[in-house]
Structure 1
Amino acid sequence: MITSLPRCSPESLLRIVILALLTTVSASVSTTLAATNKSPVLISDSSSTRAIALESVTLKAEPFPLTSSVNFSSDTRTRICIFAMNLELLAGEAANAFSADVQDASGKLYPLRVEYEGQVPGFPGISMLIVRLADDLGDTGDVLLRVNLHGLSSNRVRVAIGHLGGGPADDFGAIPTPAPATPPPADPPLVPDSFTGPVSDAEAVRFLEQATWGPTAADIAHVKAVGYLAYLNEQFNAPVTNPAKGSNYPDLTFPAEDGTACPTSSPGDPNYNQNVCNRDNFSMYPVQRTFFSNALYGQDQLRQRVAFALHQILVVSGASAVNRPSWLTVYLQALDRGTFGNYRTLLEEITLSPAMGEYLDMRLSTRTSPNENFGREVLQLFSIGTAVLNPDGTPQLDAQGMPLASYSQTQVNEFTRVFTGWNFVPGTIAPGTANWRDPMVPRGGTTHDVGSKTLLNGQVVPACGGTNAACAQSDLTAALDNIFNHPNVGPFISKQLIQHLVTSNPSPAYVERVAKVFNNDCSGLYPQGCSNVRGNLKLVVQAILLDPEARGDVKTDPNYGKLREPAQYINGFLRAFNVKSFDKTSTSDGVLGSRSTTDFTGTLDQPIFQPATVFSYYQPGYEVPGTKILGPAFGILSTSTTLRRANDINTLVYTGVQNNSSPTAGSPDRPRGTSIDTTNLEALAGNPGDVADSLNALLLHGTMSTQMRNSLITAMNAINDAIVTTRNRKRAQVAIYLAATSSQYDIQR
């Protein structure tokens, strides 16, 4: 194993490797694969898919590494150089725009890091990539290697690791991809699309999967006609149903906490039901119902989608102390209100919300009895994370390769002192009910710690000689400013928003582009309406959705995309099929279960607004088991929840969610039930291929595999009821069920 040879710098290496590339160019033939699309092309020799590649230390050809040991395990010095064409890079993009992987004979995939990208001198259209081998990649023999750029994967080429031979078979249809006899010209920098014109069906569907709770036929037609920018501007300015609160969540009555809120009967109200009263005042039913109603029918789809993402970052849960819907509503209204505002403003509003004060114990924290819950989580989860980050969101490492800590326990203690002395506004707003409506205020007396405090980056907040209230407010302002201006906040928050809206594994370059917009809203690819401010969430969201890594009609990188979390999975399915009430005479009221809207998402381990911990329903750093690939929503996917997904779709397709028997018929509080409308597909069911094509366009933006399409058609052709309407209904149902429970639909790509 090679361990002692010095590594060449990329610049000196480029001068040497030209000789190897010249050999390939001179040997290429006129049948070279043309690079006609935007996917990268890796260069192979002229007679096979074996890569033109060099080991970056010795500059010798494969196998890599140059050793006879059969027990080789690659280490941090083992890198190979491969060559690529057709790289459409934005101006300034570099190696962190790429990802790579290899597959061994057993089918195991090993993620690789691309450490360098540079043009080969004399060959302007050919670039060299230096790829670091995975540390756990041993003497595997041949592997298939690919690189990915902006969600598009290259062809896969064969590279020998440890010894030559063996390995997986070439991909179906793979052909040699030698460099052309005439070196190609340099690829011009990728110019971001203006996105002012119309788009295709597939592009519109992909965009709406990311920007809404799911495409509808009407929304697809609208986005196709007006384009992305116009649609985003409409969404940024979409009205809300509760303008006074900037939200679609209505103000709820705060129930008395003295035992009188829900008596056994209510004279004069024939519709009164004690169970319904308890449901509406002491469970999450009202806010969950509003959430689903907004998701299914709301016109401010982008606000609702982003607000739910922010809920999973700035977490308050209704599963524990904040267990009244009226208490949680004030927090949800703040999220709606701040979705397109400034993150600094939102951070303070959530910090002082009574729900957060109760959830993370800030309202109980005093000078003599400090509680560190909020002081810790505001750093770890709401702003900077646990590791010092590079601008692209990757962690900075120490000499041992371990992430550098972004804060210490001492700093947690200092921030804990900052957040002392706050509590609910004095008084009650209902018998026995504290003021859960208004922001917290400083307590009286000497409850705030007025001593000096050392915050992040060594900033010192001097001792305060003012009143308890003035000192508490000035310290809080200084601390939140200190946190907000930490360089971690941009990449930390931007990456999580990308994960919620677009893909679980964004490239570092994508994260960096969005983080730049967070740091200064005029620094992005789409600065329209910018004002040189930090934390502008509206333009951060726009940057996420219009980035080249997000846009396009199809993505081929196998690690691109995200598992649809239960809320997205159910809402997207219902929106696709014109969701209605159970009897199909009106709209659904957002109630998806017999007594509670958690019957679907709750059994899928995502009870809406009731995450189990402050770490939300799942953690953003969760890796898919057996891989090194981020897949946060896989954290709540298990054998049982996978089966329940299929069961829930079965219920919605074949029966719908029936009307509740309580309260009695005619009561305004009685849920209407939920069903889907399959009439459009039934009209096509005489030709099963048309049904499959319609589902392909609506659910999969044209990416349905041939195998899946054939399976749908076979299943539909097996249904031949004598009554045509019955046959067509059953055909539509089975096709919908199979498509919606497929792995292709599970993953938003």
Structure 2
Amino acid sequence: MNIPSRILAALTLAALGACGQQSGSGEPDLLASSGQVVTKSGALVSRYAAARFAEQATFGPTPELIAELEKKGFSQWIDEQFALPASKIDTSPIRVYNSEIPAEGQRAYEYFISQIYPALISSPDQLRRRVSWSISQFVPTSSNKLTPYPALVYANFLQDQAFGNYGDFIRALTTNPPMGLYLDNIQNRPLSPQCIGCAPNENYARELMQLFTLGVVKLNMDGSTVRDAKGVPVETYSQEDVSQLARALTGWRMAEPPSRWDWSNRDGVLTPDPWELAHDYGEKKVLGTTFPANKGAAAELETIVSLLMAHQNIAPFVSLRMIQHLVTSNPSPAYIGRVAAVFRNNGKGVAGDMKAVVKAILLDAEARKGDQIGADSNSFGKLREPVLWFTGVLRGLGCKQAPRWDNNNDLVHPYQQTPYNPTSVFSFYAPTDRAPGSNLLAPEQKLINADTLSARMGGFNFGSTSAAAAAGCKVEPFGEALAASPLLYVNMVNERFFRGAMAPTLRQNLMDLAPTIWGENNNMKAMNLLAYALSSPYYGVMR
């Protein structure tokens, strides 16, 4: 079915305002300078604040994580997460296969999907996972073009890069084989009579500036648009800048020659092509900076990294995108400016320190203001996109994997947003998308449609006892609570998924529905009622 745009608009705006109706007790005192909350009970942070922080910094709260955050506080937990090694997905089972044989290609794709959700929900380095997922959404590749093996290689690459330096990331990204294949820089060659068919390819050069580092208009440090005397936005770069940058990016190749059906050459790094005609050695001028003649591909890459990292846009551009993916879709200019200042200088004179940036985002006073119930504005927060909705449910139920459909054994997952498989380089949605009928930035609302709502109401097969058990989901405690008392059940759902502050309206709705909810057994009834609760705007917004 199709939901009319006016109804989608109403749902979006209702979701943006819904969580302002929460109720709770034990209001904590916010210490804006540290991002910590001290409660009357003596815990370093309140349970509500811990659960809220977990939604921003991980793929969803769990009872164990909340207890850990209450004890350690946010700053110590972040530092301990920084110290953990990067978890990786094992790519070896799909390194060699014949993609022209449909059954082998299908098995590779199924393996790709099956490995993603255990990594997202069970990896101990939850903060790194959340940050690398966030980066993947504005610096994407896609298995649609790459095939499953290099798509997982790219996911592992982002795990290595997530807590590094953004300048180093730009350098590594340019020599990353999956990105070289995805945006065709591996094919970028200067025109030459000696090379039949060689031609510049501007795809990577354009997206490197437009989507990954600078954006299309010049920005002030607070993310606001720079305008000329007539009020017209000032463009960041011209088409000539794209063409000149593409010339500087010529001359990269796979380190090893391709072997039929062996995808290992999609791993590792690209290297400068030793063939002299593969790179354009002429003088270039990009964004007002002259690239001297007779420089090789590796030397020109260093100039590119320095140029982009020195540009006025990169700090607010990257800061806004990271804030949007971790904390709130519509941050204030002051919030963006504070984080951008850390991106520009981590306190030790270093630009692009992503550990410092991530910590600044999560501990900023604007991010932590809502740790005190009812203290934040109704415009703060972000719609829960399909992946974060799904992983939040999985972690809340203690699952180890996504369940499978009983009728065909396919893995259940939100098809509206398959990780590492967006439909285009513009990813799943644009960061500038706004809520219908509103001026609020709400990019994720692009994915909230009839299919999304239907899937959430359907419960993603959690009502199947066998499917849930096979995925390691702990459904039985919810079924037992519902059988004992609707109030006991609602309290359990409240604590597990609503930070202990469920809206009174939703609480009453669940109490009213509990006696009549459909299900073949108590577990199914409990999961069907949970699907109703988690399909509501009260869970649909991370505030």
Shared fold (TM-score, shorter chain, > 0.5): yes
Q: Is the 8 A contact 1:314 1:350 kept in 2?
A: no
Q: Is the 8 A contact 1:354 1:440 kept in 2?
A: yes
How far, CA to CA, are the matches of 2:403 and 2:356 in structure 1? 30
Aligned to 2:340: 515
CA gap 1:256/1:220 in 2 versus in 1, 3 angstroms: closer
SS of the aligned residue for 1:618 comes to: coil
Residues 1:738 and 2:536 aligned together: no
SS of the aligned residue for 2:435 comes to: coil
Q: 1:697 aligns with which of 486, 490, 495?
A: 495
Q: Is the 8 A contact 2:177 2:266 kept in 1?
A: yes
Q: 1:484 aligns with which of 309, 326, 344?
A: 309
In structure 2, give the amino acid aligned to 1:446: L
Aligned to 1:407: 237
In structure 2, give the amino acid aligned to 1:451: G
Query: Which structure's residues are more often helix, by fraction?
Result: 2
Aligned to 2:397: 577
In structure 1, give the amino acid aligned to 2:506: M
Q: Is the 8 A contact 1:422 1:441 kept in 2?
A: yes
Q: Cα offset for 1:644?
A: 2.2
Alignment of 1:192-207 (within 5 A): 192-193=34-35, 198-207=44-53
Q: Which runs of 4+ in 1 moved over 6 A?
A: 589-593
Q: 2:426 aligns with which of 605, 611, 615?
A: 615
* Per-residue Cα deviation, 1:258-307 (whole angstroms, up to 9, x for no partner): 97xx7xxxxxxxxxxx94x44344x2x33332220012211111111111
In structure 1, give the amino acid aligned to 2:495: A
Aligned to 1:747: 541
How far, CA to CA, are the matches of 1:401 and 1:688 in structure 2? 59
* Per-residue Cα deviation, 1:381-418 (whole angstroms, up to 9, x for no partner): 00000110010111112233332111111111110111
TM-score, normalization: structure 2? 0.85
Aligned to 1:710: 508
How far, CA to CA, are the matches of 1:311 and 1:352 in structure 2? 16
Q: Is the 8 A contact 2:435 2:441 kept in 1?
A: yes
In structure 2, give the amino acid aligned to 1:441: T
CA gap 1:299/1:404 in 2 versus in 1, 3 angstroms: same
Q: Is the 8 A contact 1:251 1:329 kept in 2?
A: no
How far, CA to CA, are the matches of 2:226 and 2:208 in structure 1? 21
TM-score, normalization: structure 1? 0.63
Q: Is the 8 A contact 2:218 2:234 kept in 1?
A: yes
Aligned to 2:291: 461
Q: Cα offset for 1:745?
A: 0.4
How far, CA to CA, are the matches of 2:135 and 2:336 in structure 1? 17
Residues 1:682 and 2:495 aligned together: no
Q: Is the 8 A contact 1:210 1:502 kept in 2?
A: yes
Residues 1:279 and 2:106 aligned together: yes
Q: Is the 8 A contact 2:462 2:468 kept in 1?
A: no
Q: How many correspondences in the alignment?
A: 506
How far, CA to CA, are the matches of 1:451 and 1:590 in structure 2? 56
* Per-residue Cα deviation, 1:293-326 (whole angstroms, up to 9, x for no partner): 0122111111111111111121111112x11x22
Aligned to 1:396: 226
How far, CA to CA, are the matches of 1:719 and 1:333 in structure 2? 43
CA gap 1:653/1:511 in 2 versus in 1, 3 angstroms: farther
Residues 1:544 and 2:361 aligned together: yes
CA gap 1:396/1:703 in 2 versus in 1, 3 angstroms: farther
How far, CA to CA, are the matches of 1:497 and 1:356 in structure 2? 20
Aligned to 2:445: 634
CA gap 1:685/1:234 in 2 versus in 1, 3 angstroms: farther
The structure number with the bigger radius of gyration is 1
Aligned to 1:71: none
Residues 1:652 and 2:482 aligned together: no
Q: Cα offset for 1:484?
A: 1.9
Q: Cα offset for 1:685?
A: 5.0
Q: Is the 8 A contact 1:208 1:214 kept in 2?
A: yes
In structure 2, give the amino acid aligned to 1:394: S
How far, CA to CA, are the matches of 2:63 and 2:315 in structure 1? 35
In structure 2, give the amino acid aligned to 1:232: I
Aligned to 1:564: 384
How far, CA to CA, are the matches of 1:360 and 1:460 in structure 2? 25
SS of the aligned residue for 1:460 comes to: strand
Aligned to 2:401: 588
How far, CA to CA, are the matches of 1:720 and 1:280 in structure 2? 36
Residues 1:309 and 2:134 aligned together: yes
Q: 1:601 aligns with which of 390, 414, 434?
A: 414
How far, CA to CA, are the matches of 1:507 and 1:389 in structure 2? 14
How far, CA to CA, are the matches of 2:37 and 2:518 in structure 1? 46
* Per-residue Cα deviation, 1:200-220 (whole angstroms, up to 9, x for no partner): 110010000111110011111
Q: Cα offset for 1:687?
A: 3.4
Larger RCO (alpha carbons 8 Å, 6+ apart): 2
> Where does structure 2 lack aligned partners over 5 or more consecutive residues?
1-8, 22-30, 192-198
Q: Is the 8 A contact 1:372 1:413 kept in 2?
A: yes
SS of the aligned residue for 1:487 comes to: coil
Q: 2:328 aligns with which of 492, 497, 503?
A: 503
Aligned to 1:364: 187
In structure 2, give the amino acid aligned to 1:494: S
Q: Is the 8 A contact 2:383 2:444 kept in 1?
A: yes
Aligned to 1:554: 373
* Per-residue Cα deviation, 1:107-152 (whole angstroms, up to 9, x for no partner): 99xx9xxxxxxxxxxxxxxxxxxxxxxxxxxxxxxxxxxxx9xxx9
How far, CA to CA, are the matches of 1:451 and 1:692 in structure 2? 69
Aligned to 1:420: 250
TM-align CA RMSD: 3.1
> Where does structure 1 lack aligned partners over 5 or more consecutive residues?
1-106, 112-147, 154-170, 172-188, 242-246, 263-273, 523-530, 580-586, 660-671
SS of the aligned residue for 2:507 comes to: helix
Structure 1 window deviating more from structure 2 (347-356 vs 419-428): it is 419-428
How far, CA to CA, are the matches of 1:643 and 1:653 in structure 2? 15
How far, CA to CA, are the matches of 2:390 and 2:264 in structure 1? 36
How far, CA to CA, are the matches of 1:328 and 1:727 in structure 2? 40
How far, CA to CA, are the matches of 1:596 and 1:436 in structure 2? 27
* Per-residue Cα deviation, 1:39-72 (whole angstroms, up to 9, x for no partner): xxxxxxxxxxxxxxxxxxxxxxxxxxxxxxxxxx
Aligned to 1:355: 178
Q: Is the 8 A contact 2:95 2:262 kept in 1?
A: no
* Per-residue Cα deviation, 1:154-205 (whole angstroms, up to 9, x for no partner): xxxxxxxxxxxxxxxxx9xxxxxxxxxxxxxxxxx96444569621110010
Identical-residue share of aligned pairs (%)? 31
Q: Cα offset for 1:688?
A: 2.3
Alignment of 1:245-264 (within 5 A): 247-255=88-96
In structure 1, give the amino acid aligned to 2:429: Y
In structure 1, give the amino acid aligned to 2:334: A
* Per-residue Cα deviation, 1:490-532 (whole angstroms, up to 9, x for no partner): 111111111111111111111111111111112xxxxxxxx43
Alignment of 1:159-170 (within 5 A): none
How far, CA to CA, are the matches of 2:344 and 2:352 in structure 1? 6
Q: Cα offset for 1:712?
A: 1.0
CA gap 1:348/1:744 in 2 versus in 1, 3 angstroms: same
Q: Cα offset for 1:616?
A: 0.4
How far, CA to CA, are the matches of 2:452 and 2:97 in structure 1? 38
Aligned to 2:168: 345
Q: Cα offset for 1:738?
A: 2.3
How far, CA to CA, are the matches of 1:298 and 1:278 in structure 2? 27
Structure 1 window deviating more from structure 2 (398-407 vs 588-597): it is 588-597
